[in-house]
Structure 1
């Protein structure tokens, strides 16, 4: 998902640093309040990728305690939050500035559509809804560093996962002189430590010991992890159905949609029921979310299985040079992907009623069982003879072994 972005000036890049404020989950640490430096001395300006949740709220306060001037950057990627409340909370916790930027359209057109074109799945099941946001957010965050002349950037993903890698690789690709600062690693060892820190500092949070899981939501999906969800023996709590309806409670009558594609992405959606159409990328994506959610489409548990790892479907990192090669190849492969498909949406399922394409390789005469067309039945004789040769020899050998 290589996307254009203004390069940092040499002067800005030279003074930029990555602060990896990580929340590890492998052990406990009880000393939750670090020494507070002289309030009159500032270590410099910091741009923090801020969401307003447990992690980033604690990190914001902690950075202030360490003597940094914090600017909170919040990307609107369709998470449907009260952004004004998030702004007020960040300012109350000590942020000097708060930037809230709507990047929903860019997220759809530059990242989601590319994932759909390439059928990108992690380990053939995970839809990458969270992963795709990281380069989008990181790019905008670095632009904020440049605009504000900040000295540091910060983020707060868990130490067990891919987020910290995705965030920082994008930062390094846009500002190669950035460096990690390891002194931020070891203050918080788990979410319980963060909750205790929030309690000590009067930080309002939504996470409770009963509902101790992490949530990440955006325009493409909402994902939950940690807490009781880490054990596949536990049933999924009903409270997790927030973006979609529980399929068992979904309507009994389907919504039927006609979707028109060009170059592998949808360009027009029409409701068969009322004839309404949606054509801009963001508009039609949100409409499809609305219909799918109404009918309970999209629930997908993605626990790791106990079977051997099959390995992920490989796609280059969006910050890598090989991605510059792969992206045009994917786009080229999708140029003939044009046409219309009619689908009913019902009880958690989507299936195809009919489809048509002016560029389809489908040849009805060639496929028909009633018309011979240009296919000569005798042509498969050589193919069958060659492929059956090893089978004949194998069974001939087995007969000799049995006869001994």
Structure 2
């Protein structure tokens, strides 16, 4: 009896070629698994193609709701952004896909799991870290690290030789990853960072310059750090993200073109479209500023960066990430309220916030007269706050008391009241001279 291998299958070029390679070159019975995290696909075509290509079975697993509730929601609450730009669309999906591959491998009695990540990318780490954390006894097969095919062009030739139907061509050779949170574009002419990307690469958004000519204002309501309403209307978790993608994409919101540092040590360049996620993150950040105290907000920013690194590096199931989740959850208890945002020509800007847990007090910050704050108290506060500076200055003065103080300035001018009188007189004389000249 042949051994079984579970293949993470999308129906695209790479995984279709891998399926045939596992069957022919490795002698496995292949179980193709397509995990639906919101990518826009014809799933009936995918499982049919998998069986036609040689798979013994094909699974289509719809995990969109689990993806939002157990993965995206955690990232939203954390405010996790990798290297200040990337909203981790691919990174959030990979541990969930790994989890489903492991579950089906156990159902099918498979001895191995295969994936189509290359030996140069981050996804190989993400898939394999997830598999090892959940089921370390399973063998992992990564064809890109084993076979003799060196490029996507080679894969196209292999597919033709084995009668595998294709949608990709050598002219349309971008590597894309899509889920309900984002779509990414890599490869092709994007591999040279000096090439300006063409708007033809976009699949979701219009270019910012071609966004709607009218400003659109929307409101987003949060409860305990999570978005629940758009313009006062409740949506399910999945539908809310789809709706925000629809709203943001027509304004060109959420497009980034970045060079990022891969975990494996090289830089890569990609174009990402994350319209709904960009809106959510902007609103969430604005609401946190209203309800979190200064120390918590400052420390959470540091934690968010670490969280983003852990997710990017594939360490979703690590003890540290789980511990940070507990801290994040505690900070989100009062992140409840409503945010108004303005969308226009690629920009998403928070313009108003309100919350029953707001720490903002108009009584205290008003420039008008108030009865709750004694401005004289500030003097004592400043004296204590600056005491280390004062002590340091006294020490320096004592150490330097026998030295000549010579102060040098590049440019220094000194004026007194007599100088001002002379200036006014010169100005009047000049004006009188000008009038006399005009009269002549």
TM-score range (shorter-chain normalised) is: 0.7 to 0.9
Contact 2:115 2:141 in 1 (8 A): no
From 62, 69, 76, the counterpart of 1:116:
76
Q: What are the Cα deviations for residues 252-285 of structure 1, in whole angstroms up to 9, with x where unaligned?
A: 11332111111111111117xxxxx232211111
Residue 340 of structure 1, CA deviation:
0.5
Higher helix fraction (1 or 2): 2
- Check whether the contact 2:5–2:31 (CA below 8 A) recurs between aligned residues: yes
Does 2:27 match 1:57? Answer: no
Distance 1:52 1:220 in 2: 20
| Structure 1 residue 232 corresponds to structure 2 residue 193 | yes
Q: Is 1:349 the equivalent of 2:347?
A: yes
1:279-338 Cα offsets, whole Å, 9 max, x none, are 221111111111001111010111149xxx9xx932242111222211111111111111
In the alignment, which residue of structure 2 is the partner of 1:298?
254
For residues 143 and 54 of structure 2, what CA distance do their matches in structure 1 show?
A: 21
Corresponding position of 1:105: 65
Distance 2:367 2:407 in 1: 44
The match for 1:44 is: 3
Local SS of the residue matching 1:300: strand
Checking the alignment, whether the CA contact within 8 Å between 2:5 and 2:113 is kept in structure 1 is yes
The whole-number CA distance in structure 2 between the counterparts of 1:394 and 1:247 is 56
Q: What are the residue-to-residue correspondences of 1:297-336 with 2, within 5 Å?
A: 297-304=253-260, 313-315=305-307, 316=310, 317-336=315-334
* Range that drifts further, 340-349 or 204-213: 204-213
Aligned length: 353
CA distance in 2, matches of 1:229, 1:214: 10
Give the direction of change, closer, same or farther, for the CA distance of 1:182–1:337 in structure 2 (3 Å limit).
Answer: closer
Find the partner of 1:217 among 178, 197, 205: 178
Residues 1:75 and 1:394: Cα distance change in structure 2 (over 3 Å): farther
What is the alpha-carbon distance in structure 1 between the residues aligned to residue 136 and residue 404 of structure 2? 68
Q: Which has the larger radius of gyration?
A: 2
Higher relative contact order (CA 8 A, sep 6+): 1
SS at match of 2:15: helix
Look up the match of 1:162: 122
Residues 142-291 of structure 1 mapped to structure 2, 5 A cutoff: 142-180=102-140, 185-187=145-147, 188-270=149-231, 277-291=233-247
Unaligned 5+ segments in structure 2 are 262-266, 268-303, 409-440
Task: Structure 1: give runs of 5+ residues left out of the alignment.
Answer: 1-41, 272-276
**Partners in 2 of 1:388 and 1:50 — Cα distance?**
67
CA contact (8 A) 1:129 1:218 kept: yes
TM-score, length-scaled by structure 1:
0.81
Deviation readout 1:101-142 (Å, 9 max, x if unpaired): 111111111111111111111122111100110011111111
Matches of 1:221 and 1:200, distance apart in 2: 33
Q: Cα RMSD (Å) of the superposition?
A: 2.6
Give per-residue Cα distances to partners, 1:148-193, cap 9 Å, x unaligned. 2222211111111211111111111111222445887331222222
Aligned to 1:146, the other structure's residue is in SS state helix
Q: CA deviation at 1:212?
A: 2.6
Distance change in 2, residues 1:124/1:267 (3 Å): same
Equivalents in 1 of 2:378, 2:141: separation in Å? 70
State the distance in 2 between where 1:43 and 1:223 align: 37
Counterparts of 1:286 and 1:394, CA distance in 2? 63
TM-score between the two structures when normalised by the length of structure 2: 0.74
